[in-house]
Amino acid sequence: MKVCLAASGGGHLRQLLQMLPYAQKHDYYFLTEATPLGLSLAEDHKVRLVPHFAFGQRKTIGLIKFLWAGFTNGLMSLWHFITIRPDVVISTGAGAAFFTLFLAWLFKRKVIYIESIARVETISLFGNLAARYAGMYLVQWPKLEKQHPKAVYCNPFKEAPLADSNQKQDKIFLTVGTVMPFDRMINDIDALKNQGLINEEVFAQVGESDIAPSTMSVKQTLTQETLNGHLKESKIAIVHGGSGSMLGAIRFGCIVIAMPRRADMGEHYDDHQFELVGAFRDMGLVIEARTQDELAAAIVKARSMEPKMIEINPDSYAYHIDLFINK
**Does 327 have pLDDT greater than 80?**
no
What average pLDDT is seen over the chain?
A: 91
pLDDT of residue 47: 97
2-55: pLDDT as tens digits: 999 999 987 889 889 988 989 999 999 999 999 888 888 998 999 999 999 888
At 232, the pLDDT band (50, 70, 90 cuts) reads: very high
Q: 98-106 and 63-84 helices cross at what angle (nearest 10)?
A: 50
β-sheet bridge partners, residue 292: none
Q: What is the mean pLDDT of residues 122-148?
A: 92
158-210: pLDDT as tens digits: 887 766 656 789 999 999 987 789 999 999 999 999 999 999 999 999 988 88
pLDDT of residue 165: 58
Q: What is the mean pLDDT of residues 126-152?
A: 92
185 contacts 209 by C-beta, under 8 angstroms = no
**Of residues 62, 64, 67, 110, the one with CA closest to residue 85:** 110
**Does 267 have pLDDT greater than 70?**
yes
Element (H, E) at 231: helix 224-233
At 136, the pLDDT band (50, 70, 90 cuts) reads: very high
pLDDT of residue 243: 86
Q: Which of 50-54, 108-112, 118-122, 262-266 is most confident? A: 108-112
**Of residues 173, 177, 209, the one with CA closest to residue 13:** 177
Report the percent of the chain where pLDDT is more than 90. 64
**Does 240 have pLDDT greater than 70?**
yes
Tell me which long-range contacts 268-275 makes (C-beta under 8 A, separation of at least 24). Answer: 268/56, 268/180, 269/54, 269/55, 269/56, 269/59, 269/60, 270/56, 272/118, 272/119, 272/120, 272/122, 272/124, 273/118, 273/240, 273/241, 273/242, 274/241, 275/118, 275/119, 275/120, 275/121, 275/122
pLDDT of residue 36: 82
